[in-house]
Amino acid sequence: MWVGGIPYTGGMLPVLLIINALFNVVVWPRFYKRVSADPRARDSSGRSTTFLRVHLVLVAIALVLAAASATAAVLSFIGVW
């Protein structure tokens, strides 16, 4: 089946991957904003703590996974994957 000039293989995989990507893009940056405002995020001299760095790594991984999910969704939608 063709949708807008693109072959569509059907299935729920592209939809689930897009939902996953959107969730990660919406939720994780807001989470990081709250973490960075937490008193545990900075020490008494204003430097970032391990608490902040660990959460920054978690957010970065989640956003990389969001990009991978979005890419996989597009590839699945056009029938490449």
Residues 48-57: pLDDT tens digits?
Answer: 999 999 999 9
- Coil, strand, or helix at residue 7? strand
Q: Could you give the angle at the alpha carbon of 76 between the alpha carbons of 2 and 14, nearest 5°? A: 95
**Residue 28 pLDDT more than 70?**
yes
How many domains are contained in the chain? 1
Residues 11-22: pLDDT tens digits?
Answer: 788 899 999 999
CA–CA dist 21, 68 (Å, integer)? 8
Q: Which residues contact 32 (CB under 8 A, 6 or more apart)?
A: 55, 56, 59
CA–CA dist 25, 32 (Å, integer)? 11
> What is the pLDDT at residue 7?
61
> What is the pLDDT at residue 20?
96
> What is the pLDDT at residue 30?
97
The confidence band for 4, taking pLDDT boundaries of 50, 70 and 90, is low
C-alpha dihedral, 51 to 52 to 58 to 62, nearest 10°: 150
